[in-house]
Protein backbone atom coordinates (compact mmCIF):
# COMPACT_ATOMS: atom_id res chain seq x y z
CA UNK A 1 0.00 0.00 0.00
CA UNK A 2 1.30 3.46 -0.85
CA UNK A 3 2.48 5.74 1.95
CA UNK A 4 1.38 8.84 0.12
CA UNK A 5 -0.92 11.22 1.94
CA UNK A 6 -3.48 10.92 -0.85
CA UNK A 7 -4.13 7.27 0.11
CA UNK A 8 -4.76 7.95 3.80
CA UNK A 9 -8.07 8.83 5.40
CA UNK A 10 -7.90 12.06 7.42
CA UNK A 11 -7.29 11.26 11.09
CA UNK A 12 -10.16 13.56 12.09
CA UNK A 13 -12.69 11.07 10.65
CA UNK A 14 -11.59 8.14 12.82
CA UNK A 15 -13.14 9.31 16.12
CA UNK A 16 -16.48 9.80 14.37
CA UNK A 17 -16.33 6.29 12.94
CA UNK A 18 -15.50 4.86 16.35
CA UNK A 19 -18.31 6.81 18.01
CA UNK A 20 -20.80 5.50 15.46
CA UNK A 21 -19.61 1.95 16.04
CA UNK A 22 -19.95 2.39 19.80
CA UNK A 23 -23.49 3.71 19.36
CA UNK A 24 -24.41 0.59 17.39
CA UNK A 25 -22.89 -1.68 20.04
CA UNK A 26 -24.85 0.10 22.79
CA UNK A 27 -28.05 -0.27 20.76
CA UNK A 28 -27.63 -4.05 20.38
CA UNK A 29 -29.19 -5.14 23.71
CA UNK A 30 -32.16 -2.86 23.05
CA UNK A 31 -32.62 -4.39 19.60
CA UNK A 32 -32.49 -7.87 21.12
CA UNK A 33 -35.11 -6.88 23.72
CA UNK A 34 -37.57 -5.85 21.00
CA UNK A 35 -36.74 -8.52 18.42
CA UNK A 36 -39.97 -9.76 16.77
CA UNK A 37 -42.02 -7.64 19.19
CA UNK A 38 -44.91 -5.39 18.13
CA UNK A 39 -44.46 -1.68 18.81
CA UNK A 40 -47.42 0.63 18.16
CA UNK A 41 -46.54 4.26 17.42
CA UNK A 42 -49.17 6.97 17.38
CA UNK A 43 -47.95 9.76 15.11
CA UNK A 44 -49.63 13.13 15.24
CA UNK A 45 -49.42 16.70 16.39
CA UNK A 46 -47.59 19.49 14.61
CA UNK A 47 -44.65 17.17 13.85
CA UNK A 48 -46.80 15.78 11.02
CA UNK A 49 -46.72 19.13 9.27
CA UNK A 50 -42.93 19.48 9.34
CA UNK A 51 -41.24 17.82 6.35
CA UNK A 52 -37.87 17.28 8.08
CA UNK A 53 -39.56 15.78 11.16
CA UNK A 54 -41.71 13.56 8.92
CA UNK A 55 -38.62 12.25 7.12
CA UNK A 56 -36.89 11.58 10.46
CA UNK A 57 -39.98 9.68 11.60
CA UNK A 58 -40.08 7.61 8.41
CA UNK A 59 -36.39 6.75 8.80
CA UNK A 60 -37.04 5.63 12.37
CA UNK A 61 -39.91 3.36 11.32
CA UNK A 62 -37.89 1.73 8.54
CA UNK A 63 -34.93 1.18 10.87
CA UNK A 64 -37.22 -0.44 13.46
CA UNK A 65 -38.56 -2.87 10.87
CA UNK A 66 -35.08 -3.63 9.54
CA UNK A 67 -33.89 -4.27 13.11
CA UNK A 68 -36.44 -7.04 13.65
CA UNK A 69 -39.27 -5.10 15.31
CA UNK A 70 -42.85 -5.07 14.04
CA UNK A 71 -43.88 -1.39 13.96
CA UNK A 72 -47.54 -0.45 13.61
CA UNK A 73 -48.20 3.24 12.89
CA UNK A 74 -51.46 4.96 13.86
CA UNK A 75 -51.83 8.59 12.77
CA UNK A 76 -54.07 11.53 13.54
CA UNK A 77 -54.79 14.60 11.45
CA UNK A 78 -56.92 17.14 13.32
CA UNK A 79 -55.31 20.27 11.84
CA UNK A 80 -55.53 18.89 8.31
CA UNK A 81 -59.21 18.02 8.81
CA UNK A 82 -59.87 21.55 10.07
CA UNK A 83 -58.22 23.11 7.03
CA UNK A 84 -60.17 20.91 4.61
CA UNK A 85 -63.48 21.72 6.33
CA UNK A 86 -62.67 25.43 6.03
CA UNK A 87 -61.77 25.00 2.35
CA UNK A 88 -65.09 23.24 1.68
CA UNK A 89 -67.05 25.80 3.68
CA UNK A 90 -68.27 23.26 6.23
CA UNK A 91 -68.65 24.91 9.60
CA UNK A 92 -67.67 22.93 12.67
CA UNK A 93 -69.73 22.99 15.82
CA UNK A 94 -67.91 22.56 19.12
CA UNK A 95 -69.46 21.39 22.37
CA UNK A 96 -67.41 21.66 25.54
CA UNK A 97 -64.34 22.23 23.38
CA UNK A 98 -64.87 19.07 21.31
CA UNK A 99 -65.69 18.99 17.58
CA UNK A 100 -69.11 17.58 16.72
CA UNK A 101 -68.90 15.15 13.79
CA UNK A 102 -72.01 15.18 11.61
CA UNK A 103 -72.61 13.34 8.31
CA UNK A 104 -70.88 16.00 6.20
CA UNK A 105 -67.92 16.22 8.56
CA UNK A 106 -67.35 12.46 8.81
CA UNK A 107 -67.08 12.26 5.01
CA UNK A 108 -64.28 14.84 5.11
CA UNK A 109 -62.66 13.07 8.07
CA UNK A 110 -62.55 9.79 6.16
CA UNK A 111 -61.28 11.48 3.00
CA UNK A 112 -58.45 13.29 4.82
CA UNK A 113 -57.43 10.58 7.30
CA UNK A 114 -57.84 7.39 5.26
CA UNK A 115 -56.95 9.18 2.02
CA UNK A 116 -54.45 12.00 1.77
CA UNK A 117 -52.67 11.78 5.15
CA UNK A 118 -52.51 8.00 5.22
CA UNK A 119 -51.01 7.75 1.75
CA UNK A 120 -48.60 10.60 2.45
CA UNK A 121 -47.14 8.71 5.42
CA UNK A 122 -46.97 5.52 3.35
CA UNK A 123 -45.07 7.51 0.74
CA UNK A 124 -42.59 8.89 3.30
CA UNK A 125 -41.83 5.39 4.57
CA UNK A 126 -41.51 4.04 1.03
CA UNK A 127 -39.09 6.86 0.16
CA UNK A 128 -36.83 5.66 2.98
CA UNK A 129 -36.81 2.11 1.65
CA UNK A 130 -39.63 0.63 3.71
CA UNK A 131 -42.66 -1.33 2.52
CA UNK A 132 -45.75 0.20 4.08
CA UNK A 133 -49.44 -0.39 3.48
CA UNK A 134 -52.17 2.10 4.33
CA UNK A 135 -55.30 0.86 6.08
CA UNK A 136 -58.11 2.12 8.29
CA UNK A 137 -60.29 0.48 10.91
CA UNK A 138 -62.86 -0.44 8.27
CA UNK A 139 -60.48 -2.72 6.36
CA UNK A 140 -61.17 -6.37 7.15
CA UNK A 141 -63.50 -5.20 9.95
CA UNK A 142 -60.32 -4.47 11.90
CA UNK A 143 -61.94 -2.07 14.37
CA UNK A 144 -65.62 -1.96 15.23
CA UNK A 145 -66.68 1.23 16.96
CA UNK A 146 -69.61 2.50 18.97
CA UNK A 147 -70.83 6.05 19.48
CA UNK A 148 -68.64 7.71 22.08
CA UNK A 149 -70.25 8.66 25.36
CA UNK A 150 -68.99 11.97 26.76
CA UNK A 151 -70.09 13.70 29.95
CA UNK A 152 -69.11 17.01 31.50
CA UNK A 153 -69.52 18.09 35.10
CA UNK A 154 -70.90 21.51 35.91
CA UNK A 155 -68.31 23.21 38.16
CA UNK A 156 -71.01 24.81 40.32
CA UNK A 157 -73.67 22.14 40.69
CA UNK A 158 -71.30 19.17 40.12
CA UNK A 159 -74.04 17.62 38.02
CA UNK A 160 -72.91 15.46 35.11
CA UNK A 161 -74.62 15.86 31.75
CA UNK A 162 -74.29 14.02 28.45
CA UNK A 163 -72.57 15.72 25.49
CA UNK A 164 -73.62 14.50 22.03
CA UNK A 165 -70.62 14.63 19.68
CA UNK A 166 -72.41 13.01 16.77
CA UNK A 167 -70.38 10.47 14.80
CA UNK A 168 -67.41 10.40 17.16
CA UNK A 169 -66.71 6.80 18.06
CA UNK A 170 -64.66 4.72 20.44
CA UNK A 171 -63.28 1.23 19.74
CA UNK A 172 -65.54 -1.62 20.80
CA UNK A 173 -63.69 -4.58 19.27
CA UNK A 174 -60.41 -5.15 17.42
CA UNK A 175 -59.95 -8.08 15.02
CA UNK A 176 -56.25 -8.91 14.58
CA UNK A 177 -56.63 -10.95 11.39
CA UNK A 178 -55.55 -8.29 8.89
CA UNK A 179 -52.75 -6.91 11.06
CA UNK A 180 -51.34 -10.38 11.74
CA UNK A 181 -51.27 -11.10 8.00
CA UNK A 182 -49.66 -7.76 7.16
CA UNK A 183 -46.95 -8.14 9.80
CA UNK A 184 -46.29 -11.74 8.74
CA UNK A 185 -45.66 -10.42 5.22
CA UNK A 186 -43.07 -8.03 6.71
CA UNK A 187 -45.07 -4.96 5.73
CA UNK A 188 -45.49 -1.86 7.89
CA UNK A 189 -49.18 -1.10 8.56
CA UNK A 190 -50.13 2.59 8.65
CA UNK A 191 -53.58 2.95 10.20
CA UNK A 192 -56.10 5.79 9.95
CA UNK A 193 -58.46 6.04 12.97
CA UNK A 194 -61.71 5.62 11.06
CA UNK A 195 -63.97 2.71 11.97
CA UNK A 196 -67.43 1.32 11.31
CA UNK A 197 -70.13 0.50 13.84
CA UNK A 198 -72.60 -2.34 14.13
CA UNK A 199 -75.08 0.11 12.57
CA UNK A 200 -72.80 0.29 9.47
CA UNK A 201 -72.13 3.94 10.30
CA UNK A 202 -68.67 5.45 9.83
CA UNK A 203 -67.13 6.87 13.02
CA UNK A 204 -64.30 9.31 13.63
CA UNK A 205 -62.14 7.85 16.42
CA UNK A 206 -59.57 9.75 18.48
CA UNK A 207 -56.13 8.62 17.28
CA UNK A 208 -54.73 8.08 20.78
CA UNK A 209 -57.73 5.93 21.73
CA UNK A 210 -57.48 4.00 18.45
CA UNK A 211 -53.76 3.36 19.01
CA UNK A 212 -54.42 2.17 22.57
CA UNK A 213 -57.02 -0.30 21.35
CA UNK A 214 -54.69 -1.63 18.64
CA UNK A 215 -51.78 -1.94 21.09
CA UNK A 216 -53.95 -3.77 23.60
CA UNK A 217 -55.29 -6.22 21.02
CA UNK A 218 -51.78 -6.90 19.67
CA UNK A 219 -50.29 -7.25 23.20
CA UNK A 220 -47.66 -4.78 22.06
CA UNK A 221 -44.30 -4.53 23.80
CA UNK A 222 -44.55 -0.74 23.67
CA UNK A 223 -47.10 1.90 22.80
CA UNK A 224 -45.49 5.22 21.92
CA UNK A 225 -47.69 8.34 21.86
CA UNK A 226 -45.89 11.10 19.96
CA UNK A 227 -47.21 14.49 21.05
CA UNK A 228 -46.28 18.18 21.05
CA UNK A 229 -44.95 18.17 24.63
CA UNK A 230 -41.92 16.45 26.23
CA UNK A 231 -44.15 14.08 28.21
CA UNK A 232 -46.04 14.30 31.50
CA UNK A 233 -44.99 17.39 33.45
CA UNK A 234 -45.13 18.04 37.18
CA UNK A 235 -46.58 21.22 38.68
CA UNK A 236 -43.24 22.96 38.11
CA UNK A 237 -43.43 22.04 34.40
CA UNK A 238 -40.55 19.57 34.72
CA UNK A 239 -40.63 16.23 32.93
CA UNK A 240 -41.65 13.21 35.01
CA UNK A 241 -39.49 10.36 33.60
CA UNK A 242 -41.51 7.40 34.91
CA UNK A 243 -44.95 6.73 36.36
CA UNK A 244 -47.11 3.81 37.48
CA UNK A 245 -50.86 3.51 36.92
CA UNK A 246 -51.36 4.44 40.58
CA UNK A 247 -49.15 7.52 40.12
CA UNK A 248 -51.18 8.58 37.09
CA UNK A 249 -54.49 8.36 38.94
CA UNK A 250 -53.05 10.32 41.86
CA UNK A 251 -51.73 13.09 39.59
CA UNK A 252 -55.11 13.39 37.87
CA UNK A 253 -56.86 13.59 41.24
CA UNK A 254 -54.55 16.33 42.58
CA UNK A 255 -54.74 18.41 39.39
CA UNK A 256 -51.18 17.88 38.17
CA UNK A 257 -52.42 16.12 35.03
CA UNK A 258 -55.11 18.23 33.37
CA UNK A 259 -56.91 19.05 30.13
CA UNK A 260 -55.84 17.15 27.01
CA UNK A 261 -53.29 15.04 28.88
CA UNK A 262 -56.05 13.28 30.84
CA UNK A 263 -57.49 11.31 27.86
CA UNK A 264 -53.94 10.37 26.83
CA UNK A 265 -53.26 8.99 30.31
CA UNK A 266 -56.59 7.15 30.27
CA UNK A 267 -55.52 5.55 26.97
CA UNK A 268 -52.20 4.56 28.56
CA UNK A 269 -53.96 2.94 31.52
CA UNK A 270 -56.34 1.05 29.22
CA UNK A 271 -53.48 -0.27 27.07
CA UNK A 272 -51.49 -1.40 30.11
CA UNK A 273 -54.50 -3.18 31.57
CA UNK A 274 -54.94 -4.98 28.21
CA UNK A 275 -51.42 -6.41 28.38
CA UNK A 276 -49.13 -3.78 26.84
CA UNK A 277 -45.82 -3.92 28.72
CA UNK A 278 -45.24 -0.14 28.87
CA UNK A 279 -46.41 3.11 27.29
CA UNK A 280 -44.33 6.19 26.55
CA UNK A 281 -45.58 9.73 25.98
CA UNK A 282 -42.89 11.66 24.14
CA UNK A 283 -42.26 14.77 22.05
CA UNK A 284 -42.61 13.98 18.35
CA UNK A 285 -40.74 17.16 17.41
CA UNK A 286 -37.46 15.78 18.82
CA UNK A 287 -35.37 14.40 15.93
CA UNK A 288 -35.44 10.59 15.91
CA UNK A 289 -37.41 10.51 19.18
CA UNK A 290 -38.56 6.95 18.50
CA UNK A 291 -35.00 5.64 18.15
CA UNK A 292 -33.85 7.54 21.24
CA UNK A 293 -36.61 5.94 23.27
CA UNK A 294 -36.28 2.36 22.04
CA UNK A 295 -32.59 1.94 21.21
CA UNK A 296 -30.74 4.04 23.82
CA UNK A 297 -30.52 4.30 27.60
CA UNK A 298 -31.84 7.85 27.40
CA UNK A 299 -35.61 7.91 27.49
CA UNK A 300 -37.24 10.57 25.32
CA UNK A 301 -40.39 11.10 27.38
CA UNK A 302 -42.48 9.71 30.25
CA UNK A 303 -42.52 5.92 30.65
CA UNK A 304 -45.70 4.49 32.19
CA UNK A 305 -45.87 0.94 33.58
CA UNK A 306 -48.54 -1.03 35.41
CA UNK A 307 -46.69 -0.80 38.75
Annotated binding residues for substrate, as ranges?
A: 77-78, 99, 204
Known binding-site residues equal 77-78, 99, 204
Closest CA to 204 of 275, 102, 129, 135: 102
Close Cβ partners of 239 (under 8 Å, ≥ 6 residues apart): 230, 231, 232, 233, 301, 302
Q: Could you tell me if 225 and 281 are in contact, meaning their C-beta atoms sit under 8 angstroms apart? A: yes
Cα–Cα nearest to 29, from 222, 304, 296: 296
Distance from C-alpha of 2 to C-alpha of 4, rounded to nearest angstrom = 5
- Label the pairing between strands 194-197 and 202-205: antiparallel
Q: Are 137 and 196 a contacting pair, CB within 8 Å?
A: yes
- 226 contacts 286 by C-beta, under 8 angstroms: no
CA torsion 31→143→120→291, rounded to 10°? Answer: -20
Handedness of CA 50, 56, 60, 63 (dihedral sign): positive
Amino acid sequence: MSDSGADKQPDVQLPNVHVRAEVLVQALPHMQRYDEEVVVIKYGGHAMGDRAAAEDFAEDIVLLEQSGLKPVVVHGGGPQIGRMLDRLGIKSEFREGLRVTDEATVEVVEMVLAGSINKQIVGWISAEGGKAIGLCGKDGNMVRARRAARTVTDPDSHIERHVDLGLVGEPEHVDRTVLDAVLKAELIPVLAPVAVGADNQTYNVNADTFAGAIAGAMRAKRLLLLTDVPGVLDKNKKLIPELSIEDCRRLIADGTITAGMIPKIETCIYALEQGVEAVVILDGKVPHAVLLELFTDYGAGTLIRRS
